Amino acid sequence: MSYNLFLDDWKSPKDCRNYPGDGTVYDVSEFVIVKSFTEFYQVIKERGIPKFVSFDYQIDGDATGLDCAEFLKFECNEQGVDFPVYNVHSSWPGIKGEFLNIIDN
């Protein structure tokens, strides 16, 4: 868990500094940036569970950020580790609650 993962198909971490919450997490210089479920899956499988992940809802392809959160939750459960620190930087109204339902249950 030595990397930060950023899921978004068009924004960069620096674009999220002014989103609600602690924007200083986006001042970290190193993020692995992925734009789709396939990329998200590959990075998790190759590098393991990240120490921090930032989710967008709408991403490239047919999947959403919720699908990525479900996959990461499954991987954490399989490995017996806690879900990493995370943020939802999506501009979709009310979507953060959907992420909380997946991650906290």
Rounded Cα–Cα distance for residues 85 and 88 (Å): 11
Domain 4-104 has CATH 3.10.450.710: no
pTM assigned to the model: 0.92
Domain ranges of the chain: 4-104
pLDDT digits (tens, 9 = 90+) for 32-69: 999 999 999 999 999 999 999 999 999 999 999 999 99
Please state whether beta strands 32-34 and 85-88 pair in parallel, antiparallel, or not at all (unpaired).
unpaired
Burial (CB count <10 Å: 0-12, 13-18, 19+), residue 24 = exposed
Rounded Cα–Cα distance for residues 42 and 35 (Å): 11
The label of the residue with tokens 């924004």 reads: 11
